[in-house]
Amino acid sequence: MRMRRWPLSALLPALLAVTACGAGTPAAETGTYASSLEAMIEQELERNELSDWDRAVLEKALETGQISRADYLEGADMYEQCMAAASVAMKRTDHPNGLIEHQPATVSADDAERDAKISADHECMRAGWGRTQELYSFQTANPDLLRDSSEVVVRCLFDAGIIDEDFTRDDFQAYVRDDYTPEKLPFDIMDATVQSCLWGAGIVFRDYR
C-alpha cells in the first residue's frame, strides 16, 4: 500500500491519523517501496494521469538525481493558490526537516462542507505537486524507502538526538500506534522536531482532547 500524503485525505477521514482518541493498529509492513528513488520516479512517470507540472519536475529529477528544493517550494505555492481559489483556508507548517504540511484551518462538522474540501484538495493535488511532494518527502525523510513508518519515525528521532538506542521501533508502535499512551514516551510528541519526524513518515498526529 502506498502512503498517501495528501493532507485533507489524511486528516479528515483519519486514514493515517493518530489521535488522542486512539487508532486502529495498522498492519505491519516490511521491506521497501522500491529499490531506489530513481525507480520510484520512473514508476510515477508511467502514470497517464500524472500532471504536466509533475511530469516536467520528475523528468528533470531523473537527470539530476534528485527533486530540487526550488521545484518543491514552487509546487507548494501552486497548491496553496489553488486551494485559496477554491475558498478553502489552509494552515501551513514548515517543518524543521524542510517538509511542508498543509492542513485545513478548520475541521468541518458538516459532511457537505468536508466533502467539498476533500474534493478541492484532490483536484489541486492532481493539477500539480501531488506526486512531486510525495516523492520529495521520501527523498528528504525516508531515503531508504522503508515501508515500516514506525521504523522511519524512530530513525528520525534517533538522528535528531531525541531518543537513544534503548527506545525502539516496537516502543513507538506500542505507545503511539497500538495503544495511545503518550505519558510513557521519553519525549513530547507535540515537539516541532518530533512532529516533523511523524510527518516525514506519513503520519498525522493531532491531540484533539
Lowest mean pLDDT among 21-35, 56-70, 75-89, 139-153: 21-35
Q: Structure pTM?
A: 0.84
103: three-class secondary structure by DSSP = strand
Contact 60, 85 (CB under 8 A): no
Report which of residues 147 and 106 the model is more confident about: 147
Phi, psi of 37 (to 5 degrees): -65, -35
| Sequence ranges of the domains in the chain | 36-143, 148-209
